[in-house]
Structure 1
Amino acid sequence: MPFDHNDHYHRLLIRQVPPGCAVALDVGCGTGRFARRLAALGVEVDAIDPSPEVIAEAQARSERSGGGRNLRFRRADITGTELPRGHYDFISCLASIHHMPFGTVAALRDALAPGGVLAILGCYPERTAVDWAWSATAVPANAVARLAVAAADGVRPARRSDRAPVRAPVARPTLALADIRREAATLLPGCEVRRLLFWRYLLVFRATG
């Protein structure tokens, strides 16, 4: 298993889950790894993704791992899905918001219950000197992390598979971090946007109430 930048930040995202969280939504869930981590906390999780192949793989992996009944995978495009207002205690969006108009966060905001949290792990393109400086720092750290994962894999027994792994579709981000901050300030007033090391940012919005 190669070093995965999104998986690296799972624990950071889990720390954003509010106390007493009962129901969550994972948007663009991919093959479901983070959704399964949420469900393992005892949270009822709705996990959606527009790719039928990816959702089928997520469901299969969940069944193989003995996934609980509190995890529901569904094929859906969030931009065309009507979400229940004020329903979710936690909404996560991992490396998928750049696959859709950023304004989609308004629908996610409205789906939060009072006190609920929206946590977005996002990607951004390098446009400024600061972006490139962070990238220069991330490159050697990324190489070290990949070597560590490769070394760990070397001591584990290999698992044979005759089929290619199913992966979520990938798209290049186009919205610069400065534009993300500006749009987020309008649509998600009071949110926090924090630059992370591996070409990612963390956006956290807490609904009032």
Structure 2
Amino acid sequence: MPFDHNDHYHRLLLRHLPKEGREEGREAGRRALDIGCGTGRFARRLAARGYEVDALDPSAEVIAEAKAIAEAEAIGKTEPIGGGPRYRRADVTATDLPEGHYDVITCLASLHHMPFATVTRLRAALAPGGALLVLGCYAGRTRRDLVAVPANAAARAVVHVSDRLRGAARPPLQPPVRRPDMSLTDIRTEAARLLPGSEVRQLLFWRYLLTYDSSA
């Protein structure tokens, strides 16, 4: 069933965007990097808020899908400030990132596909006052995860019924899935070591939110 755990937290991530420079609800002229962008839904939400977005993913197939979706959605619509996301096939662990360049860097359910220490490369790419936002996956189960099981089943059922009633088209291509190998405790320990001043908050649906402010 097509309930997407990552999409569920888009609004939460948007609330953590840097507040400086907002004009009429938009962050005009600001730069964002979306790591592991998949088919680009969150990258497009950033672009709609006025960010100039570089969206990277190592899969050529999902980048092609992201471009196709963006082109289809753009028909008859006004181009967002700064234009749509610039999609590019790239492995961030082997890509040179401009130092001190991005106002926000996002990483949705993709950090566990790479060494956790990659966050130090992302930290270096943040502009002063920039924010790193990681919606991550962790290994193992906690007491809170017991609550997520019935909530997850209910959400999937609601989305499934809604899509059938609307006659929704096929869901977009899903990026490759990999099981995380770090526990929530390990993630908090490494985040404290590599990103002093960062915060890690446990969420429902086996996710966590890591936030880091480069001015901290």
TM-score normalised per structure 1 = 0.92
Aligned length: 202
The answer as to 2:180 corresponding to 1:173 is yes
For residues 179 and 165 of structure 1, the distance between their equivalents in structure 2, rounded to whole angstroms, comes to 33
Q: RMSD of the alignment, in Å?
A: 1.6
The answer as to 2:97 corresponding to 1:56 is no
- Counterpart of 1:79 in structure 2: which amino acid? T
The match for 2:24 is none
For residues 157 and 105 of structure 1, the distance between their equivalents in structure 2, rounded to whole angstroms, comes to 41
- Counterpart of 2:178 in structure 1: which amino acid? A
**1:98–1:173 CA contact under 8 A, matched in 2:** yes
Gaps of 5+ in 2: 22-26
Q: Encode CA deviations 1:26-71: one digit per residue, 9 max, x unaligned.
A: 0000000110111111110000000001111111111111165341
**1:42–1:70 CA contact under 8 A, matched in 2:** no
Q: Give 3-state SS (helix, strand or coil) of 1:2's partner.
A: coil
**2:39–2:62 CA contact under 8 A, matched in 1:** yes
For residues 168 and 6 of structure 2, the distance between their equivalents in structure 1, rounded to whole angstroms, comes to 23
**2:44–2:84 CA contact under 8 A, matched in 1:** no
For residues 47 and 111 of structure 1, the distance between their equivalents in structure 2, rounded to whole angstroms, comes to 14
**1:3–1:145 CA contact under 8 A, matched in 2:** yes
Q: Encode CA deviations 1:155-206: one digit per residue, 9 max, x unaligned.
A: 21343x6xx9522011010011111111111111000100001100000000
For residues 112 and 92 of structure 1, the distance between their equivalents in structure 2, rounded to whole angstroms, comes to 11
Shift of the 179–156 alpha-carbon distance from structure 1 to 2, 3 Å rule, reads: same
The match for 1:198 is 205
**2:39–2:172 CA contact under 8 A, matched in 1:** no
**1:93–1:119 CA contact under 8 A, matched in 2:** yes
The match for 1:17 is 17
Q: Give 3-state SS (helix, strand or coil) of 2:145's partner.
A: helix
The match for 1:182 is 189
**1:30–1:55 CA contact under 8 A, matched in 2:** yes
Match of residue 108, structure 1, among 122, 126, 131: 122
Shift of the 148–86 alpha-carbon distance from structure 1 to 2, 3 Å rule, reads: same
TM-score normalised per structure 2 = 0.89
**2:33–2:54 CA contact under 8 A, matched in 1:** yes
Aligned-pair identity (%)? 62
For residues 172 and 211 of structure 2, the distance between their equivalents in structure 1, rounded to whole angstroms, comes to 31
The answer as to 2:158 corresponding to 1:148 is yes
The match for 1:81 is 95
The match for 2:8 is 8
Match of residue 47, structure 1, among 36, 41, 55: 55
